[in-house]
Structure 1
Amino acid sequence: MSERRLTGLTVHEFLEALAARQETPGGGSVAALCGALAASLGRMAAAFTTDSPRFADVAERVTEIAGRLARAGHMLSELIDEDAAAYLALSAAFKRDKGDPDRSAVIRTAATLAAAVPFQVAVLSRKVRLDLARLAPIANPNLASDVECGLHLAAAAMHSAAVNVRVNLRLLGAPESERIERELAAILGAGGEGLGERPSEANAIGHGGV
């Protein structure tokens, strides 16, 4: 991949880069993109809510949610490129001469970053998902399907980010990998709660009306 930022590519260019036989972008960047897309869908639903006098009673709450979604979406957008950079650093670490006495330490440092970036994607996507769940019952019902799409995208971002965290944990070893795994499980929710749509969220969306 060239020095050009992934977030500076057109949609077509990004898809072609993703499909190409090259190291980046990959699943980690896509996870961050899914989270950012989820946040943007929520912001759109919020905009169509706050600009209508019909929803004046919830406008302040919706504005607060939209602000949090904007901040999370911006950070997730930055993580699209940060994930690619972390992967390239890890790849470069593995290419070091096996006789290099610093090789193991360099790999461990790179693996720590390669796990930390998708971990942050999971954290932020979880926040996005929770805010979308808060938005669902009070947003303009004409945007119900957009909020629901956002919920699914945020869940996909969390799940995909978790995969990318775990693939790097094997390079860290215990006890650090065990600590990170526990923290990741807490983010996702016991039994994968954070990955599926909860009934309360589905009901809030499904009965919104148009």
Structure 2
Amino acid sequence: MELKQFMSELASAAPTPGGGAVSALNGALAAALTSMVANLTHGKCQSSEDLVALQQLLTTVQQLQHELTAQIKADAEGFMPLAQAYRLPKQHPQRADILESALAGAVCAPLKTLQLLAQLVPLLEQLLTQANQLVVSDVGVAATGCSSASQAAALTVYVNTRLMHNRKHAATLNAQTAHLASANVASCQKIYQQVLMQLT
């Protein structure tokens, strides 16, 4: 889907794409920007060890970008069974079980997004010390994107877990989500502050 079409569908009354897709897109953009910084730093490496490390980083971040982009579609696909479950008559004998299963499915993409973003954070930390100084600001921009995407993905998990009848499972998902989101945001904030100190 092209960006113009995505924006048009996002702005419409259709239930998808929604917040989960936006968080995945923000994460993919942060990964793409990280890749740009790495590519522009490539020729500035001072040693063969730095060059190898940067090449490994590029390979990893490009894969993360691909996987985060995939979560945009995955989020919409994860929501469809939930939308169908809500349309079932309330007297349907299996409605509660179907709804519970659909809610569990709807958290998969945002939780995966959080896990992928957790893998992006150390790459940003690595680039902070290696980056071409002309694009160090972009490390900070990527960090803010990663932070925002993490917070957004967490909200998409919570909006589904709050409706689960299995509160033990919901609590497990919430704890996992909170841990990932808080760690991502805290690390990204540190990166942003370090970039800010370099620029001011």
Q: TM-score surpassing 0.5?
A: yes
Within-5 A mapping of 1:111-126: 111-126=103-118
Of 95, 99, 102 in structure 2, the residue corresponding to residue 107 of structure 1 is 99
Q: Could you say if the C-alpha distance between residues 148 and 79 of structure 1 is closer, same or farther in structure 2, counting changes exceeding 3 Å?
A: same
Letter in 2 for 1:181: N
Paired with 2:169 and 2:124, the residues of 1 have a C-alpha distance of 32
Is residue 2:32 matched to residue 1:24?
A: no
Q: After TM superposition, give the deviation of residue 201 of structure 1 in Å.
A: 5.4
Out of 163, 169, 189, the position equivalent to 1:197 is 189
Q: Which runs of 5+ in 1 are unaligned?
A: 1-7
Alignment partner for residue 62 of structure 2, among 65, 70, 78?
70
Q: 1:65 to 1:206 in 2, by over 3 A?
A: farther
Letter paired with 1:71: Q
Give runs of aligned pairs for residues 5-20 of structure 1, distance below 5 A. Answer: 8=1, 10-20=2-12
Candidates 135, 138, 154, aligned match of 1:143: 135
In 2, the alpha carbon distance for the partners of 1:130 and 1:166 equals 25
1:87 Cα deviation (Å)? 1.4
Q: Which has the higher helix share?
A: 2
Is 1:61 matched with 2:60?
A: no
Query: Could you say which residue in structure 1 is the equivalent of 2:38?
Result: 46
CA distance in structure 2 between the aligned counterparts of 1:171 and 1:204, rounded to whole angstroms: 40
Cα contact 1:65–1:131 (8 A) shared by 2: yes
Percent of aligned pairs with the same amino acid? 26
1:59-84 Cα deviation digits (max 9, x unpaired):
11111112211111111111101101
1:40 and 1:59 mapped to 2: Cα distance? 19
CA contact (8 A) 1:137 1:204 kept: no
Aligned to 1:83, the other structure's residue is in SS state helix
Q: How far off its partner does 1:184 sit?
A: 1.4
Shift of 1:205: 6.3
Distance in 2, matches of 1:56 and 1:109, equals 53
Query: Which amino acid in 2 is paired with 1:187?
Result: L
Aligned to 2:169: 176
TM-score (normalised: structure 2): 0.90
The runs of at least 4 consecutive aligned structure 1 residues that moved more than 4 Å come to none
| Distance apart, 1:164 and its partner CA | 0.3
Q: Secondary structure of the equivalent of 1:96?
A: coil
Counterparts of 1:143 and 1:77, CA distance in 2: 23
Structure 2 residue identity aligned to 1:207: Q
Gap runs ≥5 in structure 2: none
Quote the offset at 1:208 in angstroms: 7.4
Letter matched to residue 47 of structure 1: N
For 1:62-113, what per-residue CA distance to the aligned partner results, in whole angstroms no more than 9, with x for missing partners? Answer: 1111221111111111110110111122111110122221211111111001
Q: Determine the C-alpha separation between the residues in 2 that align with 1:208 and 1:193.
A: 20
